[in-house]
Amino acid sequence: MSAITRVTAGIQHLGRRVIDGTSRLGRATLFLARLVPGLGAVLLRARLIVQQLYMTGVLTLVIILVSGAFVGMILALEGYNTLVKYDAQSSLGLLVALSLTRELGPVLTALLFAGRAGSALTAEIGLMKATEQLAGMEMMAVDPLVRVVAPRFWAGWIAVPLLAMIFTAVGILGAYVVAVGALGLDGGVFWSQMQSGVSVTNDVMGGLIKSAVFGFVISWIAVFEGYDAKPTSEGVSRATTRTVVSSSLAILGLDFIMTAFMLRGL
Amino acid sequence: MDTTIKSEPLVAVRGVSFFRDGRPIFRDLHLTVAPGSVTAIMGGSGAGKTTLLSLIGGRLEPHTGEVQVAGEVVGSLPRKALFALRKRMGMLFQSSALLTDLDVYENVAFPMREHTRLPEALIHHLVLMKLELVGLRGARGLYPAELSGGMARRVALARAIALDPMMVMYDEPFTGLDPISMGVIVKLIRDLNDALGMTSIIVTHDVSEACTIADYIYLLGDGHVIAEGTPAEMQKTNSPEVRQFMAGLPDGPVAFHYPANEYMADIRAEVGS
């Protein structure tokens, strides 16, 4: 095979990948458009959403609590280590709170949620498709977009901001335990610095908006990948992997964009 | 049986052609299903039997021709009307398609809960009646993963008749069952059909079971009906295609070998490459 044909094949391959990616994005958008009426319809059946909130939200709590506590404790240790050089250790509470509310809380929660609940959503919907459960519902005149997909979408969207708040709160408590218990910082200073330096409208709301966007995107990717999966074991496993990879990349990319907007005061 | 077959058909497939990935599955297919009858659609693997059920259920649209169910043209129905029609059809999938997160009771109650506002006490009565019909009232607390293949199919059957449909479609109902479960399903299909006044369409390749319960048999091959008749007529026919299928002969008009190059030439080519 000559060098030219090899280069041509490479370009063709690249082109095919780009076309595939673009058409996937198009399909995902069409899927979202088809899902919107279902999202409204399922609101009348709150029980379905509550069930899924339990499956996706409550069952993710343990990993969120444990990770949040550790991240907070690590932040306290690392932050203290640097701040103490400038005799600024009294700002530790502020540093931890700002890092957690603005960045680490929303982003890490979203990444953990994508790995724990997003993958499970994709696998569940993909397997329901592979075992003809979705086709069975259609033949029973039940729209699987309303009955299966919409409640899971809502649950994911609602769960991520709530989990991010819990992650942040537990992280701050973890940092407090290390800072006051182990490093000997004054508890009053830890809290008062935080109180005066953290803005509810900017920092807390900014973090909440981020996690709501992440929740929307993860849920969208997870239910789309499941619904679009090839109905075979290999297809479902590929879809599950794609959910975690695409969600993680989307979270980090969107975080950069949103942070850029928020820091410029938009 | 002749009287029922002469009445207005419940399902009419007229001149249907259907292609998948450019490959023709059906070409100018015609068949009718009489109300109240048990009609078997037979054919080898890949003859498009399951596709035919999808066309009747409106999950696929024919490329030409039309499929009529209860006087309505299925392919052109808007989604709402199609769903209204589907409430009057039951379907039994080969995989049973039970919802794995619900127990047997809830699986049978599922269509009632989705489509009716019946009080809980009435749903309870109806579910137990349906489960009693298939002999699984005692299994109502089990989950699909705890059921044998035969039991799962009976639960799926109870669910298919939950809303008292006018017609039930069975996709390979006898495949993968032990002889006892098979006998149970064969008896259930016939009994339910007659007791509830339904119409049944069975897609299958099990010749003896189909002959036991069907009133009328269509044999599909090469995209169209190659033979039709009552079980007795089908057994007597001299057509080589029908004889091969009904007697299960490995070679005949349907060749044992998938089309290939000449055997020795193929072997030499492999070695040479």
Tell me the per-residue pLDDT of A117-164, one tens digit each, with 9 for 90 and over: 999 999 999 999 999 999 999 999 999 999 999 999 999 999 999 999
pLDDT band at A264; cut points 50, 70, 90: confident
What is the number of other CB atoms lying within 10 angstroms of the CB of residue A23?
A: 10
Q: What share of chain A is helix, strand, coil (3-state, %, to 5)?
A: 90, 0, 10
Q: How much is the average pLDDT of A64-68?
A: 97
> Cβ(B245)–Cβ(B219) under 8 Å?
yes
What is the number of other CB atoms lying within 10 angstroms of the CB of residue B72?
A: 14
Q: Give contacts of A141 with chain B, Cβ < 8 Å.
A: 83-84, 86-87, 111, 114-115
Q: Decide if pLDDT at B4 tops 50.
A: no
Give the residue from chain B lying closest to A139, CA to CA. B86
Calpha distance B161→A146 (Å, rounded): 23
Calpha distance B29→B17 (Å, rounded): 7
Q: Write down the residue that tokens 């090839």 correspond to.
A: A230
Query: Is position B211 within any domain?
Result: yes
Query: Is position B133 within any domain?
Result: no
Counting beta carbons within 10 angstroms of the beta carbon of residue A195, is it exposed (0 to 12), middle (13 to 18) or buried (19 or more)?
Answer: exposed
Q: How many contacts, defined by CB atoms under 8 Å, are there between A and B?
A: 49
Q: Give contacts of A143 with chain B, Cβ < 8 Å.
A: 83
Rounded to the nearest angstrom, the minimum Cα separation between A146 and chain B is: 11
Query: Is position B97 within any domain?
Result: no
Domain extent, residue B185, equals 2-88+165-272
Q: How much is the average pLDDT of A67-82?
A: 95
Calpha distance A3→B233 (Å, rounded): 67
pLDDT band at A221; cut points 50, 70, 90: very high
pLDDT band at B6; cut points 50, 70, 90: low
Query: Is position B127 within any domain?
Result: no
pLDDT band at B263; cut points 50, 70, 90: confident
pLDDT (tens digit, 9 = 90+) per residue, A36-47? 988 988 888 899
Q: In the prediction, which pLDDT does A236 show?
A: 95
Q: In what order do the strands lie in the sheet with B216-221?
A: B89-92, B167-171, B199-204, B38-42, B216-221, B224-229
> Cβ(A229)–Cβ(A124) under 8 Å?
no
Query: Is position B17 within any domain?
Result: yes
Q: What SS3 class is residue B170?
A: strand
Q: Decide if pLDDT at A17 tops 70.
A: yes
Calpha distance B68→B83 (Å, rounded): 15
- For residues A239, A243, A244 and A249, what is the CA-based torsion angle, rounded to 10 degrees? 130
Percent of chain A at pLDDT above 90?
A: 89
* pLDDT: which is higher, B250 or A62: A62
Rounded to the nearest angstrom, the minimum Cα separation between A142 and chain B is: 7
CATH number of the structural domain spanning residue B196: 3.40.50.300
Q: Across the interface, which of A135, A141, A147 has its CB nearest the CB of B97? A: A135
User: A131 and B59 in contact by Cβ < 8 A?
Assistant: no
Q: Decide if pLDDT at B9 tops 60.
A: yes
Q: Decide if pLDDT at B7 tops 80.
A: no
The count of domains in chain B is 1
Q: How much is the average pLDDT of A70-90?
A: 94
Q: How much is the average pLDDT of B253-258?
A: 72
Q: Decide if pLDDT at A253 tops 70.
A: yes
Q: Give contacts of A231 with chain B, Cβ < 8 Å.
A: none
pLDDT band at A50; cut points 50, 70, 90: very high
Q: In the prediction, which pLDDT does A1 show?
A: 64
Q: Decide if pLDDT at B251 tops 50.
A: yes
Q: Decide if pLDDT at B1 tops 50.
A: no
Q: Decide if pLDDT at B3 tops 50.
A: no
Q: How much is the average pLDDT of B238-265?
A: 78
Extents of the domains making up chain A: 46-263
> Cβ(B97)–Cβ(B50) under 8 Å?
no
Residue A119: φ, ψ to 5°: -65, -40
Q: How much is the average pLDDT of B70-74?
A: 89
Q: In the prediction, which pLDDT does B273 show?
A: 52
Q: In the prediction, which pLDDT does B272 show?
A: 57
Percent of chain B at pLDDT above 70?
A: 95
Q: How much is the average pLDDT of B179-202?
A: 89
pLDDT (tens digit, 9 = 90+) per residue, B95-137? 889 999 899 999 999 999 999 999 999 999 999 999 998 889 9
- What is the complex's ipTM, to 2 decimals? 0.81
Q: Across the interface, which of A131, A132, A141 has its CB nearest the CB of B86? A: A141
pLDDT band at B239; cut points 50, 70, 90: confident
Rounded to the nearest angstrom, the minimum Cα separation between A111 and chain B is: 27
Q: Write down the residue that tokens 């057994």 correspond to.
A: B235
Candidates A151, A166, A169, A157; CA nearest to A61 is A166
